[in-house]
Amino acid sequence: MIIKDSHIPIYFQLEMEIKEIVKGLNPGDPISSEREFSEKYDISRMTVRQAINNLVNEGILVRKRGKGTFVAEQKVEQPLSGLTSFSEDMRSRGLKPLTKILSFQQISSDKNIAAKLKIAEGVPVYEVSRLRLADESPMALEISYLPANIITDLTEDTVYASLYEYIENELNLQISHATQTLESSLAQKSECSILQIEEGDPVLLIERFSYLQNGEAFEYVKSIYRGDRYKFVIDMKR
């Protein structure tokens, strides 16, 4: 119910109203159009738009161009305290990790990759590009570079499953620590169809350098995470 002479702004009352409606719906379900809300509550479309914009910004609703407004998928909350793999992260949330291999090849490291992995230029590395999915929904695009003399005998089957499991259980190497950076960005055209998002949608660019117990870098990964599906959680102590 919307009370027009209340001191609570109408757009805010409508936000509360829509939040209640969303509770009874599932992710991906459509909600009424701006026109329908404006007629139902007898309020201006501008006010409806403001409420919907706020809920889109809060990650509760999602707009799909030319299709309407829908209930958003819940974001995956990822703690940044431990060094975990994608497969572990998804399983710990009750989601099924899936991988689509976009490319897999051994290349000679160029100047840039050699510098990142602190190896000599020309040293062979595996370049693996993978789409990572959770319960069949695209989450992230990862391009990994792994020195072939450390991560030996890598195959498509291995990276289709879990890379970290292969390193620890098959190669018996000890993964020790990683340095990671996160920055916000906008989706490029080339990534959109793979991640099933629109050009310009928010994404997170993540770079990870991972090391073995002996201090050797065993991977350099560039990832693009869907901004609407991820929320990173950092615990801080004072």
Residue with tokens 């073995």: 212
User: 174, 212 in Cβ contact below 8 A?
Assistant: yes
What phi, psi does 170 have (nearest 5°)?
A: -95, -45
**Nearer Cβ to ligand 16G, position 12 or 209?**
209
For residue 47, state whether it binds ligand 16G (rule: CB under 6 A): no
Alpha carbons within 13 angstroms on the beta-carbon side of residue 34 total: 14
- Maximal C-alpha separation, the chain: 72
For residue 128, state whether it binds ligand 16G (rule: CB under 6 A): no
For residue 133, state whether it binds ligand 16G (rule: CB under 6 A): no
For residue 86, state whether it binds ligand 16G (rule: CB under 6 A): yes
CA dihedral 95, 101, 106, 110 (to 10 degrees): -80
Q: Report the distance separating Cα 225 and Cα 197, nearest Å.
A: 11
Report, in Å, the least distance between residue 237 CB and ligand 16G.
22
The alpha helices in the chain, defined as continuous H runs, are 10-23, 34-41, 45-57, 86-92, 111-117, 156-160, 163-165, 189-195
For residue 158, state whether it binds ligand 16G (rule: CB under 6 A): no
* 10, 144, 145, 226: residue in contact with ligand 16G (rule CB under 6 A): 144
For residue 162, state whether it binds ligand 16G (rule: CB under 6 A): yes
Q: Could you tell me which stretch among 18-26, 100-108, 114-122, 215-223 binds ligand 16G (CB under 6 A)? A: 215-223
For residue 104, state whether it binds ligand 16G (rule: CB under 6 A): no
**Nearer Cβ to ligand 16G, position 41 or 86?**
86
CA dihedral 168, 169, 173, 175 (to 10 degrees): 10
For residue 41, state whether it binds ligand 16G (rule: CB under 6 A): no
For residue 85, state whether it binds ligand 16G (rule: CB under 6 A): yes
Q: What does the binding site for ligand 16G look like in residue numbers (CB under 6 A)? A: 85-87, 142, 144, 162-165, 206, 208, 219, 221, 223
